[in-house]
């Protein structure tokens, strides 16, 4: 998980990842990340390079497009 967090932190500093972190779900631990991508192929390449996915320990991504983002700068 250390490598997974470092992977996301690197992409946060590069501007690909916008925000990421753990979710306090009483059903079990998981995380959420929001990334900038031009298409799903870009996201799938991002996913394939993630150390958690590469570990082959059953981790997975769920990819959902955000149709409109509202934020405060």
**In this predicted model, what pLDDT tens digit does every residue of 27-73 receive, in sequence order?**
999 999 999 999 999 999 999 999 999 999 999 999 999 999 898 87
CA distances for 73 relative to 33, 70, angstroms: 19, 10
Closest to 7 in 3D by CA, of 36, 40, 41, 49: 49
Strand partners, 23: 30
How many CB atoms lie under 10 A from the CB of residue 11?
Answer: 19
- Let me know: does 13 contact 5? Beta carbons within 8 Å: no
pTM check: above 0.85: yes
């Amino acid at each position: 998980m250390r490598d997974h967090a470092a992977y996301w932190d690197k992409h946060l500093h590069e501007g690909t990842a916008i925000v990421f972190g753990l979710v306090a779900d009483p059903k079990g631990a998981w995380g959420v990340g929001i990334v900038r991508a031009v298409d799903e192929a870009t996201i799938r390449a991002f996913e394939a390079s993630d150390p958690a996915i590469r570990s082959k320990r059953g981790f997975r991504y769920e990819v959902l497009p955000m149709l409109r983002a509202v934020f405060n700068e």
